[in-house]
Amino acid sequence: MISFLLAYISITLFAMMLLGIYGVATRSNLIKKIIMLNVMGDAINMLFILIGYRLVFPVFPPIYERHITFEEFLNRSVDPVPQALVLTAVVIGMAMNILLTTYAIQFYRLHGTVDVRDMAEMLRGDEE
């Protein structure tokens, strides 16, 4: 039952990643692209957390305590490396979201659109 649930969650996360890639590649609205980038980043973060999780019960936090044996600790503790990577990715993702949203708002204030095709036409017009 747990392996079925793990497979279902993994497939769902891969589908969310593909949905994010599809949205970034096909949408012309910059705000929708930013939202799809968030969906893709969150799916990748959850996949990293899922990779570091152990499928045994009870699961121990990655802090060694003396009342359990070291071998049992190694077999049942959660891997802390994916947790640290996800924490770093969340902070970087938040900073990127703020930066991209600020650029989108500023471009809308200056040019009145957030459509990528209109942006490309404006940039081509500036070069000529």
Scan for tokens 């990127």, then name that residue.
96
36-68 pLDDT tens trace? 999 999 999 999 988 877 776 777 777 777 777
Residue 30: exposure state from Cβ atoms within 10 A (0-12, 13-18, ≥19): buried
Contact 45, 61 (CB under 8 A): no
Helix (H, G, I), strand (E, B) or coil at 66: coil
Q: Give the span between the Cα atoms of 111 and 118, in whole angstroms.
A: 9
Assign domain 2-127 one CATH number from 1.10.287.3510, 3.40.1390.10, 3.90.870.20, 1.10.1280.10.
Answer: 1.10.287.3510
pLDDT tens digit sequence for 9-43: 999 999 999 999 999 999 999 999 999 999 999 99
CA gap 30, 86 in Å, rounded: 25
pTM: 0.81
